[in-house]
Structure 1
Amino acid sequence: MKKIFILLSIIVFGLAACEDELNQVPISEMSADGFFQDEKGFEQAINGTYEALSTYPERQFHLSDVRSDNIYGVGSMGVRSHEPVNNFAFTLAVNEYMTEAWDNNFKGIMRANTVLENLSADLVPDEAMRNRLEGEAKFLRALFYFDLIRYFGPVPLVDRLVSPNEALEIPRSPVADIYTLIISDLQDAAQKLPSSYSGINIGRATSYAAKGLLARVHLTRSGPVLHPDGPCLGVNEYSQALSLLNEVIAGPYSMLTDYAATFDLFNENNSDIVFDIQFASGGLGVGASYPGELAGSAFWKAAGYPYAIGLETKDVSYDLINSYGENDSRLDFNVQIGYIDPTNGQYVEDPVCTKFSRIDPETWGADRFDFGINFPVLRFADVLLMKAECILQGASGTQTEVDKIVSDVRARGGLSAVSNVTMDDLLEERRKEFLGEGLRWHDLVRTGKVLDVMNAWIQVEDESGQMRSSIDYKHIIYPIPQSQIDVKKGLYEQNEGYE
């Protein structure tokens, strides 16, 4: 396993004072004096920009999986932060997950802007290295901004370093304007990034990763407008997405024959991974915490994990479990239906997402923040299924192509081939394939299915009646964190419906 993250404590960014400001405004300035002197300094800086992705896995799980019909997150240990997300509360402006999503994405944007503003031929004479650094910074900035608009809609558009005082004058920009920057960044990244890496650089963004992410952007932009400030613009860019996806498909990727091997700690950066977030255990401060978030305390205690997790299990939806069918090997890998409580020897029927928890105890890190398993942002299976989506949405292609793609994905799970696949069939296959990878809510939003699917699911799954009985377009995006609303009265207007 090759890991590219490094300790922020050795990145002399001068960030301490700056990130205090980041808790108040989205962007703050950074002193680069004495730091950006040579290629090594820029490499450290770009590694620090990758580090801003360290909370990305938990965010996608809580704000996409938990929000969707994949997880029934009604708890029994008192109100936890994920429950209002699961229950579609309108009081989420003070929720910790809103603050995390805003602050850490803008932290990454600020770091990317710093690299881009300081990068020059004088400081990095090697053109290939300079292009790579620029491509990485733009890829990451695009990823951070794409995350922001999918969750919050309009956000401040900042493509350069600004002071805290300047930031207090920057309003939210329309989603369409943010997309202009995202698309430009990803197009530049696709041109400037290498197609692959070797040695310790394996895991960095490639030109294929930029093309794959850009395809996802085009798909999302093309979705029907259900919310006036949502991420879907109703444009028809399925052909653009398909062209990019075909370029990735022609690259060095393939689906592994064994689904579980895709997520094997000892088989990371395999041919199904187009881009993932690199983590390393060993007490270095660069490990992951998301496996604990997905499975929860009771599961890890039953597994003999020696450290306290302190997190409640978010149950996998029985509707999803039943959709797998008995012969789908992905169910056995992705979900553990129950476990034995070591305190009393009793069986507990708690359906747990264990996709990233099948880790040999010998590899457990120093604590629950020190798992070494990478998190996939874009997989080859996703690229293939997005191609099928483009064709179903009217891009060039045939039903036979769609059927073959879906059948190939199913075959890896031990299932038979299918024909005449519809968009609903495709979404259900994606749901089973990508459980725990934070794609489900985004899939439902961009295909325009979110309100119908979620309202039907709530009626079936929420027997306890703890969730909102139905949702409407206002729930498609989240509220701006209250901490940001309070920075300067009138700078941001809260998203419709939220308190």
Structure 2
Amino acid sequence: MKKISYLLLAAALLTFSSCEKELDQSPISAGSVPTFYRTAEDFTQALNATYAQLRNYPDRELTLSETRSDNIYGVSTQGLRPWESINNFSTSIVANDYVGEAWSANYTGIFRANVLLEQLEKNGAVLPEAERARIGAEARFLRAFYYFNLVRYFGRVPLVDKPLSPQDVSAIGRSSVDEVYGLIVADLQAAGQQLPEVYTGTNVGRATKWAAKGLLARVYVTRSGPTYGIDGPGRGSNDYAAAFALCEEIIGSNRFQFLPNYADIFSYTNEGNKEVVFDIQYISGGVGLGASYPSILVTNNYFNSVVPNTSGFGTGDELRAASDNLLNTYPAGDLRKTQALQVGFTTGTAVETRAAFKKYLDVAKRGTTRTDWSINFIVLRYTDILLMKAECILKGGGSGDVDAIVTQVRRRGVPTAPAAAGITYEELMEERRREFVGEGLRWHDLVRSGNAVTIMNAWINADDTRGRIRKPITANDLLYPVPQSELSASAYSYPQNPGY
């Protein structure tokens, strides 16, 4: 069964390659596609190529969000690693590969979506009207997705809603965060109206109307967060009522389900389950379409501890261990901790006492290399919809029983947990931490909570036993810098984010 037909991507990527030669120098590519969009198949390939830019999203979130947060103590013991400067809040990361990739990969996706939307206007008559509308809605969903990633990490970014020439690119400045949100919201509202509720067969994995509405709810709660006095993702917009209405609509659709067994959500044999609102699709087998995210936080020693003498299967360059603070937040016997983390393991005579992230690892299901896992990455799931609803209620955006929602979530981890009573906003965010550990949400949750600076400084003081993390951090550290490559390409016309 799988999924969006990624086998079409090779041809699509070849088609786009001549259009992307300048992506390292500018936010979007120059180039044209005057001979490509002639048939319905051409549009399908182009749309699949736009989805293809999702491939590295999980890896990025595990580094720029999870590693940046209090969930991981990412201080290396074997020499400086490229992710360590992210963990350590270095102010010298303008040339960091992870930061540069986050900018360029998202803009590549935006460029592809813009080209596709333009060509639908020019040559879309080759498609039936319903298919044309669906493809356009998927392109708008993806463009919004990529822009939302950018605004959460960088704040103000260039706003580009059509393909541009190199001359035009050089004149584009960084737009306000509010302007970028305007495009994101408009795209997701349109997508939510035009996308189908469900797909079948090889189309499974494409964005549905529920994915668009769920992502828009996440946009609204993010935008509603405090500004910290910076040009970041929080705008203090008080969109909680709008987010609450979307969550209620998704819940009322009866398309999704709160799975009683936490491990079933992430099972290799239960992909596309009722918890999934939107996920990113992967195929293993050495065809170049597998996932790398399951193993980037661990090393080969972990695999040898599970299956002795595992050979030829290099994994992450060093263990990025779960923080002591994260381990201590779980109550005794919490099944979510057991699913997500392996606390200590032995390989031969080597004993590792730190905790490894194993949430997506099933050694029996490994592919040919560490970048060839078949497990899909869940970007948005039903439990998040429920907990966003609870967040909106606590912020005055709706009514309902927050304690009942949290009790349900807690008891999936600890069946005998007492019923929640008088849950506060801070307690809700900590419950989200336990529930979504290793899913790339923690940093974003911290920022929108308004407590990121306070919580992170307290955590650094308590957990940084090697004294490697810069402190104290300030609100400026809540954004990443504009990559050096983009500053150079714009002839330094982009203002750098403060603090870098």
TM-score, normalised relative to structure 1: 0.96
Number of residue pairs aligned between Structure 1 and Structure 2:
492
Residues 310 and 150 of structure 1: is their aligned pair in 2 closer, same or farther, counting only changes over 3 Å? Answer: closer
After superposition, the Cα gap between the structure-2 partners of 1:12 and 1:479, relative to the gap in structure 1 and judged at 3 Å, is closer
CA distance in 1, matches of 2:76, 2:162: 43
CA deviations on 1:222-260 (whole Å, 9 max, x unpaired) are 111104211111111100010011111112001111000
Which residue of 2 is the match for residue 274 of structure 1? 277
**Which runs of structure 2 are paired with 1:79-158 in the superposition (5 Å)?**
79-120=80-121, 122-158=124-160
Report the equivalent of 2:242.
240
Flag as ranges the 4+ runs of structure 1 deviating above 4 A. Answer: none
Given candidates 307, 312, 318, the residue that maps to 2:318 is 312
Instruction: Tell me by how many angstroms 1:30 deviates.
Output: 4.1
Select between 33-42 and 111-120 the one with higher mean Cα deviation: 33-42
Asked whether the 8 Å contact 2:343–2:354 carries over to 1, the reply is yes
Structure 2 CA distance for partners of 1:386 and 1:122, relative to 1, 3 Å: closer
Cα offsets for 1:85-113 (capped at 9, x unmatched): 11111001011111110010000001111
**Superposed CA offset, 1:254-313 (max 9, x none):** 111100000001100100000010011011111101112122333234334431225211
* Equivalent runs, 1:77-476 vs 2, <5 Å: 77-120=78-121, 122-251=124-253, 252-304=255-307, 305-306=310-311, 307-342=313-348, 345-357=349-361, 359-361=362-364, 363-398=365-400, 401-414=401-414, 415-476=417-478
Cα deviation digits, residues 328-376 of structure 1 (max 9, x gap): 111111000111113xx3321120111111x142x32121111111101
Indicate the SS of the match to 1:267.
coil
Contact 2:73 2:320 in 1 (8 A): yes
> What one-letter code is carried by the residue in structure 2 that aligns with 1:403?
D
Identity over aligned pairs, percent: 46
Shift in alpha-carbon separation, 1:433–1:352, aligned structure 2, 3 A: same
Residues 212 and 124 (structure 1), Cα distance of their counterparts in 2 relative to 1, 3 Å cut: farther
Distance 1:366 1:3 in 2: 20
Taking the aligned partners of 1:16 and 1:208, their CA distance within structure 2 comes to: 32
With over 3 angstroms needed to count, the CA separation of the structure-2 counterparts of 1:122 and 1:224, relative to structure 1, is closer
Residues 94, 458 of structure 1: alpha-carbon distance in 2 compared, 3 angstrom cutoff:
same
| 8 Å contact from structure 1 (residues 27, 163) kept in 2 | no
SS at match of 2:453: helix
Q: CA deviation at 1:438?
A: 0.6
Q: Structure 1 residue 148: deviation in Å?
A: 0.2
Alpha-carbon displacement from aligned partner over 1:30-76 (angstroms, at most 9, x marks no partner): 43233211221111111111110111001111011111111110111
Query: Equivalents in 2 of 1:449, 1:386: separation in Å?
Result: 17
Deviation at 1:425, TM superposition (A): 0.7
> Partner amino acid for 1:188?
A
Give the Å deviation of 1:13: 5.0
Contact preservation (8 Å) 1:298, 1:313 = no
Give TM-score, length-normalised by structure 2.
0.96
1:486 partner SS: helix
Counterpart of 2:375 in structure 1: which amino acid?
Answer: I
Equivalent-residue separation in structure 2 for 1:312 and 1:297 (angstroms): 9
Q: Which runs of 5+ in 2 are unaligned?
A: none
Whole-angstrom CA distance in 2 between matches of 1:138 and 1:347: 50
Q: CA deviation at 1:81?
A: 1.1
Partner SS, residue 471 of structure 1: coil
Question: Per-residue deviation at 1:218?
Answer: 0.8
Query: Residue 477 of structure 1 is aligned with which of 476, 479, 482?
Result: 479
Gaps of 5+ in 1: none
Is residue 292–residue 311 contact of structure 1 (8 Å, CA) maintained in 2?
no
Query: Bigger shift: 179-188 or 20-29?
Result: 20-29
Cα root mean square deviation, aligned = 1.4
Task: Specify the SS of the correspondent of 1:47.
Answer: helix
Shift of 1:7: 5.4
1:15 counterpart residue number: 16
Question: Is the 2:8–2:45 Cα contact (8 Å) retained in structure 1?
Answer: no
**Is 191-200 or 459-468 further displaced after alignment?**
459-468
